Amino acid sequence: MSGTTVNPARVTGASSVRRPRSAARLRRVDRIGDGVLHGICALAALLGVVTLLLIGYQIVHGAGPAISEFGLGFVTHTTWQPNFNLYGAGSVLFGTAVSSFVALLLGAPIAVSIGLYLSLLAPKGVRGIVAPLVEMLAAIPSVILGFWGILILAPFVQANIEPWLHNTLGFIPLFGPPQTTGASVFTASLILTVMVIPIIASISRDLFLAVPNEIQEGASALGATRWEVVRGVVLPTTASGVVAASLLGLGRALGEAIAVTQVMGAGSTIKASLFDTGDTLAGRIANQFPGAITEMHQASLYYLGVILLVIGLLSNFIAQWIGKRFDYARTMAK
Amino acid sequence: MSETAFDPTAPLTPTGNLRRRRAFNRFAEYGATAAAVLAVAVLAIVIYTVVARGASALSLEFLFTGEPTGIGPAIVGTGLIVLVATAIAMPLGVLIALYLTEFAGGRADRPIRLMLDLMNGLPSIVIGLFVFGLLVYGKTQSAFAGSIALAIIELPLIARGSQEVLLLVPNSMREAADALGVSRWRTVLGVILPSALGGIVTATVLAVARAAGETAPLILVCSVFDSRGVSLNPFEAIPNIPVTIFTLSEEANPTGFARAWGASLVLLSFILLASLAARVLLARSRSKVAR
């Protein structure tokens, strides 16, 4: 193509300004440069993928002895006695499920309300201040939140909230008598709630902001109150996204290790009461791994890691699938 | 119900429902506002507690000496571990972002995005287990292993953040470069990267803020150390702030608690300042790129 263009140097008869040889070299350098940069970038991406696969392999490999010893029964067995080389994930699985569920139960409504406040209610100036503050909640390191949890939150909860709940709702076995230390599944759930809220709140705020204004205004014009606009337009169009956001929050709660170890009290049996001690998958690993000496103990902790990995990846996958499959707001925006 | 039969000639009369609907609306609005207030209040309480309790522990001696009077070596150690992690994660993250925005066709795009999302969703304790099995098992704990773990945590944050700004770079700039006959790699290095630099730095700062407080992997791969003196050897376990706070918080020892509050204050102020700075930078670079 370049051959068809008229070379001004040839027209005037003077010698070419840009010598063809150097132009060829330039082209060659550019070709090589393009290839190299493309190659390096692709290599980096590949390295990321390989790392992810390697993580999966390494965790399963580490769990090898425990997998061959206990098999799938490990997941449901509730005894965990390192002294007798008996391991089962049942009790920590229970603790993980309960604490994450309570955290989500408390956190999701609050977070969605915050999302609604930030997207629809708050004046512009307030919005610009509150939104970063809520996100800053996610920036607090879990070790500090956990430390605050044991020294400040746990005594308060143990002295005030737990007795009150026990007295009013004590007929349900969930709300048993408070323990003396304040380390409890309930306190851990509260800490997890604090961690889950900023994640769900910021995603749901973005979702609510993406709901087309026309349909909201249409509802308002028909006489709907603000709440009715939310109830009838905003929430239905974003429901799938909110569920996906909650699942992402759940993933965060499931995988949290440090704060839970600090606050939950490392109980090793299943107890009905929320106010008793318990432990989670991640918390058990963080708590016992540094002191695990026998191979089987270590492998069993790796096995807990495998379960954690599977649950975490699963919730992530489902969240993305829901987000893609049912994202009404996004398809509307397009 | 009689309401189902719509009679357009009927006079518009209030049903009496409006008061109830308004009241419920008011109630919902207050509820949403209260939720926001609650979240901000929790943040305020945590920060207030850390500042109030940490301030009394803070002194020059606390910041610059080792155990048992201060956490100087831990500050240096965290700095070193995070620095090495960022030196690994930042180039890789930016390259992955470049690959996604500039090179990857439709087919390579999705799996890599998925990879970043999954990596971002990995529990940090699992990353700790991975690095333990890879670098520590059968050998000794090391700061380098900690850096690798933190790099894995930082990578998706940096890549996603960089990708977002790279997408903000106007296409007209790429087209202008193409029209001038500039090759792809020169466009990327000379035009696209410089205009996205602000956003890339922001993403990196946010990732650093996240990594600096990460405790779970360090407990597994860099937790048995001598915290009396400064150590800069990346191939041994060196003191660091998160593990220091964790260990002190597990011991029921009042003077230890005081030191842990002090360490928390140091860590928290670094993290909050960093994320604040990142936010300011982001606002500035956004307006610059979009212009």
CATH number at residue A260: 1.10.3720.10
pLDDT of residue A260: 85
Strand, helix or coil for residue B228: coil
Interface of B with A in 253-272 (CB under 8 A): 257, 260-261, 264, 267-268, 271-272
pLDDT of residue A262: 82
B109 → chain A, closest CA residue: A45
Q: Mark whether B148 and B95 lie in a shared domain.
A: yes
What ipTM is given for this predicted complex? 0.86
Lowest mean pLDDT among A92-106, A209-223, A242-256, B276-290: B276-290
Per the structure, how many domains does chain B have? 2
Q: Mark whether B124 and B80 lie in a shared domain.
A: yes
Residue A19 in any domain: the answer is: no
Check if the beta carbon of residue A184 is closer than 8 Å to that of residue A274: yes
CA torsion A211-A215-A217-A220 (nearest 10°) is -110
Q: How close A301 gets to chain B, by Cα (Å)?
A: 9
Q: Mark whether B129 and B181 lie in a shared domain.
A: yes
Check if the beta carbon of residue B92 is closer than 8 Å to that of residue A47: yes
Size of interface A-B (CB pairs under 8 A): 255
pLDDT of residue A81: 77
Lowest mean pLDDT among A13-27, A103-117, B100-114, B158-172: A13-27
Q: How close B172 gets to chain A, by Cα (Å)?
A: 20
Query: What's the rounded mean pLDDT across residues A203-219?
Result: 88
**Single-letter amino acid, residue B153:** I
CB contact under 8 A, A141 and B129: no
Kindly tell me if the per-residue pLDDT of A167 is higher than 80. Answer: no
CB contact under 8 A, B242 and A141: yes
Q: How confident is the model at residue B11 (pLDDT cuts 50, 70, 90)?
A: low
Q: From the list B21, B127, B271, which residue is nearest A141 (CB)?
A: B271
Lowest mean pLDDT among A69-83, A138-152, B71-85: A69-83
Residue B106 in any domain: the answer is: yes
Q: Mark whether B71 and B41 lie in a shared domain.
A: no
Q: Mark whether B178 and B254 lie in a shared domain.
A: yes
Residue B5 in any domain: the answer is: no
Query: What's the rounded mean pLDDT across residues A208-217?
Result: 87
Residues of B in contact with A40 (CB under 8 A): 95
Kindly tell me if the per-residue pLDDT of A95 is higher than 50. Answer: yes
Residue B8 in any domain: the answer is: no
Kindly tell me if the per-residue pLDDT of A125 is higher than 80. Answer: yes
Query: What's the rounded mean pLDDT across residues A97-106?
Result: 91
Instruction: Tell me the angle at which helices A20-70 and B72-98 cross, rounded to the nearest 10 degrees.
Output: 120
Residue A65 in any domain: the answer is: no
Kindly tell me if the per-residue pLDDT of A15 is higher than 60. Answer: no
**Single-letter amino acid, residue A176:** G
Tens-place pLDDT, residues A315-333: 888 888 887 766 554 555 4
Residue to substitute from A144, A192, A295, A304, interface B, most B β-carbons within 10 A:
A144
CA torsion A103-A107-A109-A110 (nearest 10°) is 150
Residue A56 in any domain: the answer is: no
Q: Mark whether B167 and B185 lie in a shared domain.
A: yes
B214 → chain A, closest CA residue: A141
Q: How confident is the model at residue A278 (pLDDT cuts 50, 70, 90)?
A: confident
DSSP summary character for residue B255: H
Kindly tell me if the per-residue pLDDT of B93 is higher than 90. Answer: yes
Residue A45 in any domain: the answer is: no
Q: Mark whether B64 and B117 lie in a shared domain.
A: yes
Helix (H) or strand (E) holding A321: helix A295-325
Check if the beta carbon of residue B268 is closer than 8 Å to that of residue B212: no
pLDDT of residue B45: 93
Residue B170 in any domain: the answer is: yes
Check if the beta carbon of residue A320 is closer than 8 Å to that of residue A244: yes
Q: How confident is the model at residue B13 (pLDDT cuts 50, 70, 90)?
A: low
Q: Mark whether B223 and B124 lie in a shared domain.
A: yes
Closest by CA position to B208, among listed B49, B115, B25, B80:
B80
Tens-place pLDDT, residues A43-64: 999 999 999 999 999 999 988 8
Any CB–CB contact under 8 A between B24 and chain A?
Answer: yes
Per the structure, how many domains does chain A have? 1
Residue A245 in any domain: the answer is: yes
Q: Mark whether B260 and B139 lie in a shared domain.
A: yes
In this structure, how many other beta carbons lie within 10 angstroms of the beta carbon of residue B149?
29
The maximal CA–CA distance of chain B, rounded, in angstroms, is 89
Query: Where does a domain end: B54, B69, B103?
Result: B54
Residue A55 in any domain: the answer is: no
Q: How close A155 gets to chain B, by Cα (Å)?
A: 14
Using the Cα atoms of residue B66, residue B68, residue B69 and residue B74 in order, give the sign of their dihedral: positive
Residue A309 in any domain: the answer is: yes
Closest by CA position to A264, among listed A286, A279, A285:
A279
Q: From the list B45, B118, B245, which residue is nearest A316 (CB)?
A: B118
Q: How confident is the model at residue B290 (pLDDT cuts 50, 70, 90)?
A: low
In which residue are the tokens 């027209």 written? A11
Q: From the list B40, B46, B121, which residue is nearest A251 (CB)?
A: B121
Q: How confident is the model at residue B289 (pLDDT cuts 50, 70, 90)?
A: low
In this structure, how many other beta carbons lie within 10 angstroms of the beta carbon of residue A69?
14
CB contact under 8 A, A48 and B155: yes
Domain that holds residue B46: 16-54
Query: What's the rounded mean pLDDT across residues A71-89?
Result: 78
pLDDT of residue B291: 52
In which residue are the tokens 């993928």 written? A49
CB contact under 8 A, A308 and B123: yes
Kindly tell me if the per-residue pLDDT of A272 is higher than 80. Answer: no
Residue B172 in any domain: the answer is: yes
Residue A118 in any domain: the answer is: yes
Query: What's the rounded mean pLDDT across residues B93-113?
Result: 85
Check if the beta carbon of residue B266 is closer than 8 Å to that of residue B63: yes
Domain that holds residue A163: 70-333
Q: Mark whether B131 and B251 lie in a shared domain.
A: yes
Query: Where does a domain end: B8, B29, B54?
Result: B54
Residue B230 in any domain: the answer is: yes
Residue B11 in any domain: the answer is: no
Say which CATH number the domain at B103 has: 1.10.3720.10
pLDDT of residue A47: 92
Tokens of A187: 């306190």
CB contact under 8 A, B155 and A285: no
Q: Mark whether B100 and B28 lie in a shared domain.
A: no
Helix (H) or strand (E) holding B256: helix B254-290
Return d(Cα A255, Cα A100) in angstroms, integer.
9
Q: Mark whether B126 and B147 lie in a shared domain.
A: yes
Q: How confident is the model at residue B148 (pLDDT cuts 50, 70, 90)?
A: very high
